[in-house]
Amino acid sequence: MMMKHKANMAMVFVQIIYAGMPLLSKVAISQGTNPFVFVFYRQAFAAITLSPFAFFLESSKSSPLSFALLLKISFISLCGLTFSLNLYYVAIDNTTATFAAATTNAIPSITFVLALLFRLETVTFKKSHGVAKVIGSIVGMLGALVFAFVKGPSLINDYNSNTISNGTGTSSKNSIKGSMTMLAANTCWCLWIIMQSKVMKEYPAKLRLVALQCYFSCIQTAVWAVAVNRDPSVWKIEFGLPLLSMAYCGIMVTGLTYWLQVWAIEKKGPVFTALYTPLALIITCIVSSFLFKETLYLGSVGGGVLLVCGLYLGLWGKTKEEEIQIYSEKQSQIEVKEDVTIV
């Protein structure tokens, strides 16, 4: 049973780790850490951590790296890591951790649309599983919107409600700016998910692939940080929570979870991986309410319920589709064997 559902368990574990990312990142940035420098150190931690594992564990899987392949990996790093992460930290500087987690729940819907455009996913409205995948994506997107923008009665930390707008702990202007920036970051991330399935066919060593992307992103984010801020003092690392946040985001989020996601994309496809995104929001919301005294509204709970419903509806459709595909392949193999026997 565990082997059968190891991809599901891996994605749940990924989202638990992801839930800590906006919480720790928000603390580090609120204490004065430059967001672009934060991204550089995060990627540096990831690259250094992954290198020995990639070198020793995947020596047998290594493939020759052509110049064209290196360009592809560099572009994927630029789009999915450098752009996505820098935009993410600009967005989180204008929102709370909960709001940042809420807006990332557009990822399943965006990924689903992009997968259709790149012909990595198919939809048949004549089958229940095809309808379930579409409805699940729509319900999940609706849940994210309800969570982010619908308030209703406050349930936790009502004493702070007079200073909070849209249930985010920030002004409406900053919330709009943050959500739009986060949408751009999410779109870049969705492109990263989609492009992984293509480049893995050329370079199957998953750990080395992620390590290479972290190295490229480390260089790119360094250039970005220097271009945006020329003050040398911003590169100073503060011990305590800022350093812990960088290490956590680099080693656990970028290093471990990226590798797990690349593995899951290879096994189950990009849409399956993206469908688990809403779980991080629910975990972040609960923790933020108690640690950071963020106000929790009834609208947030309703949005969370929709997110979970959309998640499981989409997963049911994806699982049913895989079962039908496996059954069809087995039937084809039986027919081939019967034809050979007759001959």
How would DSSP label each residue in 227-240?
Answer: HH---GGGGPPPTT
Amino acid identity of residue 207, one-letter, is L
**Residue 331 located in a structural domain:** no
Where b means 16+ CB within 10 Å and e means fewer, 82-117 reads bbbbbbbbbbbbbbbbbbbbbbbbbbbbbbbebbee
* Three-class secondary structure of residue 154 per DSSP: strand
pLDDT-based confidence at residue 164 (cuts at 50, 70, 90): very low
Find, among 148, 45, 39, the residue nearest to 87 by Cα. 39
Tell me the β-bridge partners of 297. Answer: 154
Has residue 276 been placed in a domain?
Answer: yes
330 lies in some domain: no
Q: Is 326 a domain residue?
A: no
Q: Taking 50 as the threshold, does the pLDDT of residue 323 lie above it? A: yes
Residue 341 above 70 pLDDT?
no
223, 83 Cβ separation under 8 angstroms: no
Q: Answer with the residue of higher pLDDT: 57 or 213.
A: 213
Assess if residue 239 is contained within a domain.
yes
**Residue 110: its pLDDT value, please?**
78
pTM here is 0.70
Q: How confident is the model at residue 161 (pLDDT cuts 50, 70, 90)?
A: very low
Assess if residue 314 is contained within a domain: yes
| 339 located within any domain | no
Instruction: Tell me the residue type at 311.
Output: L
With a cut of 60, say whether residue 254 has pLDDT above it: yes
At residue 171, does pLDDT exceed 70?
no
Beta-carbon contacts of residue 292 (< 8 Å; ≥ 6 apart) = 23, 26, 96, 97, 169
Range of the domain at 309: 6-318
pLDDT, residue 293, reads 62
**Total number of domains in the chain:** 1
- The closest of 271, 273, 281 to 257, measured between CA atoms, is 273
Per-residue confidence band for 105, with pLDDT thresholds at 50, 70 and 90: low
From the CB of residue 78, how many other CB atoms can be counted at a distance below 10 Å? 19
pLDDT at 98 over 70: no
Does residue 1 sit within a domain? no
288 residue type, one letter: S
Residue with the two structure tokens 């249930």: 167
Lowest mean pLDDT among 117-131, 207-221, 256-270: 117-131
Could you give the dihedral angle defined by the CA atoms of residues 112, 115, 117 and 123, in that order, rounded to the nearest 10 degrees? Answer: -70
